[in-house]
């Protein structure tokens, strides 16, 4: 599969296979930088296990970066001809939940500008929210709303968009029509 240059979004619900598909899309590249937005160890054994499985699945020749709150800066620091895999957008959204609306939009604009400067494929995993349980907390609702809005903003700049659900990938760019 030949990937287009630019942003490629891979979205879907939890445990649908998004990360595996994103890794597959870049599997023929000689070198890939993997930006893990939520790679820190936690007090949650289930989350730590998921991170361990991701690490074991990645090819040994891929480089790992953990950008923390500086995702846009980390993207700009990477060599322009280096393919990137960003897994996942939810880590970026969660880190910036304490921002007010103006600060959030500035973070999003900075992220989009860093992505638009890329010359090679940048595959970004996006967790879909709002398909299931409605968040019972204000911060949960804020995460859901910001994540959905950000995914739509990124879609406007994407070369391709994939939906991965139940272990199947659907190319939304071929099937769907952008909502005005």
What residues act catalytically?
54
User: Cα–Cα distance between 38 and 100 in angstroms, integer?
Assistant: 22
- Alpha-carbon span 122 to 81, nearest angstrom: 10
Element (H, E) at 85: strand 84-87
Q: In whole angstroms, what is the distance from residue 37 CA to residue 31 CA?
A: 19
How far is Cα 45 from Cα 100, in angstroms, rounded to an integer?
32
Q: Are 12 and 119 in contact (CB under 8 A)?
A: no
Strand-strand pairing, 168-171 and 158-165: antiparallel
H or E element at residue 52: helix 45-57
Q: Which of 172, 96, 77 minimizes the C-alpha distance to 128?
A: 172
The strands making up 63-65's β-sheet, listed across from edge to edge, are: 63-65, 33-36, 84-87, 121-127, 6-12, 158-165, 168-171
């Amino acid at each position: 599969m030949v990937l287009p240059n630019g942003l490629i979004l891979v979205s879907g619900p939890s445990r649908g296979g998004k990360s595996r598909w994103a890794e597959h899309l870049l599997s023929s590249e000689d070198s890939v930088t993997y930006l893990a937005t939520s790679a820190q160890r936690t007090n949650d054994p289930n989350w730590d296990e998921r991170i361990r499985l991701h690490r074991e699945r990645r090819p040994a020749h891929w480089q790992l970066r953990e950008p923390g709150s500086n995702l846009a800066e980390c993207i700009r620091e990477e060599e322009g001809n280096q393919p990137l895999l960003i897994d996942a957008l939810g880590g970026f959204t969660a880190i910036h939940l304490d921002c007010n609306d103006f600060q959030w939009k500035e973070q999003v604009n900075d992220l989009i500008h860093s992505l638009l400067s890329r010359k090679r494929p940048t595959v970004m995993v996006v967790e879909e929210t709002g398909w299931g349980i409605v968040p019972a907390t204000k911060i949960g609702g804020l995460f859901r709303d910001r994540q959905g809005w950000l995914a739509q903003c990124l879609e406007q700049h994407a070369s391709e968009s994939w939906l991965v659900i139940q272990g199947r990938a659907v190319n939304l760019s071929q099937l769907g029509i952008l909502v005005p």
